[in-house]
Structures are given as structure tokens and as C-alpha cells.
Structure 1
Amino acid sequence: LTSQQMLEAAGAVKKHVENDQAAHSWQQRFLAAWEQIKTQLADLVKVRRSGQVLPALTSEQLQGVKFHLTGELLLAEVDLLQGDPDYNQRLYSMEQLIGRYFDPATQPAVAILQELDALQAMSVVVEVPDISPPLLWLDQELTRRSLP
């Protein structure tokens, strides 16, 4: 997938969630934070954090890192929407990537890392509908049918 295709797919997911009348506020906050992170990723510097002088990332390498970060962000969104506990692990993985490939002291990196920390601190509760009445009815119906 190209970066443009990934961004279009992400936009489609965002529009779907925004249009869903039953969308929870945490989903909207996540999408807003995601947009901020995506915007700020484009502004990061091409410097690796280390004690030695390393060559700058080539444009292909930088593009690869950005694709990886975008992919991790999309997977975190899917994990979040599914109530998967891997959500926080994905955010942590993004923090590690930013720390490895970008200077975390720059303003864009600091802003992204703060957003990731805020997302990790959010308490996400997946509300599951109560299906006990239909199950109770089904159990009673099966019991009634099994009686001679």
C-alpha cells in the first residue's frame, strides 16, 4: 500500500466512526489525537538518537519509518475499537520507534510522545450489550420443548 492509500483508508475509517451516531467520546478523542500525530509525523527530523554520529536517514528509509509508524497507529486504532489489550503495546512500540529514529527533544517529537502518553493513560472500557433476556428465553424454550 502507498502512503496515500493508507491515508485514504484511515480517512475512510475516521469518517465511518464520525458518522456513527453510537460512537463514544473516547473514539472521537482517539481519532482527534490520531490526526494530530499523523500531522506531526511529517515534521520530524531525520536524526537518530545515539552517542555517535550516524548518517541521516535516506528519503526511502524515512518513508519506511513513517509507513511503519502509520501502520502501528492504524493497528492501534483497530485494537482499540475491538477492545484488544494490544492497544497500549502498539502505542509503546510507536514511542520506541520515534526514540530510535528521531530526536525526541524536537518539538514535533515531544508533541507526538505527549499524545501517545495521553492515549496510553486513557481508560478504555468496552461496553458489551446485555444479552441475558434472549438467552433466558432460549433456555426456557429449549427446556419446554424437551419435556414430554
Structure 2
Amino acid sequence: MLYAWYFRNALVRVNYTNLQKDIHETTEYLGAFLRNLLLDEKNELHNRNLHISGLLNKEKVDIESVLSEKSSDFSVKTTIHIHRLFEKFGFDEVFGRSAVMELLELKASGASKLLSNLVKADIIEPVSGHGKGKYKFKK
């Protein structure tokens, strides 16, 4: 049985920290995956165990469901960028390329590419009335 989605999420958990919410990086899930793969252990691997939803408010849970529904093959780095953007802006705040550049420490081309990919994946949408090139997360 393939566990590509679990592996991806385990890699995210290895790199995700939110000190304000007392969430720390953990290798627990990646370790279970690798022990199954390399040592033929029989650890149960469920994506629901990787979710930090119980520790975060409802908006944070919703971004996880949005990402899993879209099932885009984002890299671990892009997924972390999405989480950081959502943590800062949520569903209701509007943001543009310069805010993405500042928050994620990306150059203009990298920020533009990320925004373009998120629009194509239907994760964010352009908004009007706030100037050109403004976006918000889709619910």
C-alpha cells in the first residue's frame, strides 16, 4: 500500500513550528513511516494522526481540509509557505505579492510563481476593490 500523502504530511510536521500555539517540530510520524519501510514494523499510518487541528482554532483546521480537497502535489516547502500565509492572513484578509515576499522572504519572481500556482490550484482567489494583484484564501 502506498503512503505518499502520509509521507508528505510527516515531512511537513518535521518542519512545522508555531511557538505561539506551542506546536513544535516532530519526527515521530516520519520515524514510524521509515521504521515500517526499513525495519518492516507494522505501525498504523493515518493522516488524521498528523493533523494539529485540536491545537488550533477552526480556521486552521479549514486550511488543512482545503489543501487535502485540492490534492495538489505541492512540495513540502510550498506547503509550509501556504501554512505560513494562512497563519498570517486567514480566510478574510487580503494580501499581495509584496506581503508574500516579506513574510516568506522570497524574491518577486518566487512570490509571483507561488501566487500563480495557488490560484491555479484554486487555493486562493483574486479580489477586486483592493488594488491590482490582491488575493485571499478560498473557503
TM-score under structure 2 length normalisation? 0.34
Q: Which has the higher contact order (CA 8 A, sep 6+)?
A: 1
**Higher helix proportion, which one?**
1
Higher strand share: 2
Task: Determine which structure has more spread, i.e. the larger CA radius of gyration.
Answer: 1
